Amino acid sequence: MASSSSSGLTFKLHPLVIVNISDHYTRVKSQLNLPPSLTSTSSAATSNNNNNNSNGGENNQQPPPRVYGCVIGVQRGRTVEIFNSFELIYDPSTRSLDRSFLEKKQELYKKVFPHFYVLGWYSTGSDAQESDMHFHKALMDINESPLYVLLNPAINPAQKDLPVTIYES
């Protein structure tokens, strides 16, 4: 998938990135919304996680989770090619990014793919939010102008294009 921007950059987003983000979102969502059969037969450990749920697991629907990660690839001239991505550990309540985890993942990718760089980050949701700026600023010491790849996981049967938006600083 290639698209141009108003700045004259051309973006090439490899399918693996979309699959990785979608997989990350699906895993987190499935962990948050356990089936009622598991929540009603579980021990006290699960009830501690669902202490605000007094409906016996029937109304266990939570708002869709936002997941975060880095996108990596290369920029050659005016073409930005995003090859891969990896998950990050981010706590939205404290607005903190696990820097040691990020640095370790970056180091491991550099060993295998020495020409790939952290181009920016990704998240899921229907729109960019003001709180995303904290995450964006946290990555500016790695890349002074990080890209932001936003995947909208909501299903819209009328939509023909992929629900992916790339924002540039």
Question: What residue numbers bound the domain in which 135 lies?
Answer: 10-30+64-167
For the stretch 5-21, pLDDT in tens is 667 889 999 999 999 99
Within-domain flag for 75: yes
Phi then psi for residue 103, to 5 deg, are -65, -35
Query: Two tokens at 3?
Result: 């698209």
Within-domain flag for 84: yes
pTM confidence score: 0.78
H or E element in which residue 147 lies: strand 147-151
Within-domain flag for 137: yes
Within-domain flag for 17: yes
Query: Two tokens at 9?
Result: 């950059």
Within-domain flag for 119: yes
For the stretch 70-92, pLDDT in tens is 999 999 999 999 999 999 988 87
CATH number of the CATH domain containing 129 = 3.40.140.10
Within-domain flag for 53: no
Distance CA 29, CA 33 (A): 6
Query: Two tokens at 84?
Result: 């891969």
Q: What is the percent of the chain where pLDDT is above 90?
A: 53
Distance CA 91, CA 98 (A): 8
Within-domain flag for 46: no
Q: How many domains does the chain have?
A: 1
Alpha-carbon separation of residue 64 from 11, 152, 153 (angstroms) = 28, 11, 9
Distance CA 123, CA 135 (A): 10
For the stretch 97-129, pLDDT in tens is 899 999 999 999 999 999 999 999 999 998 988
Within-domain flag for 58: no
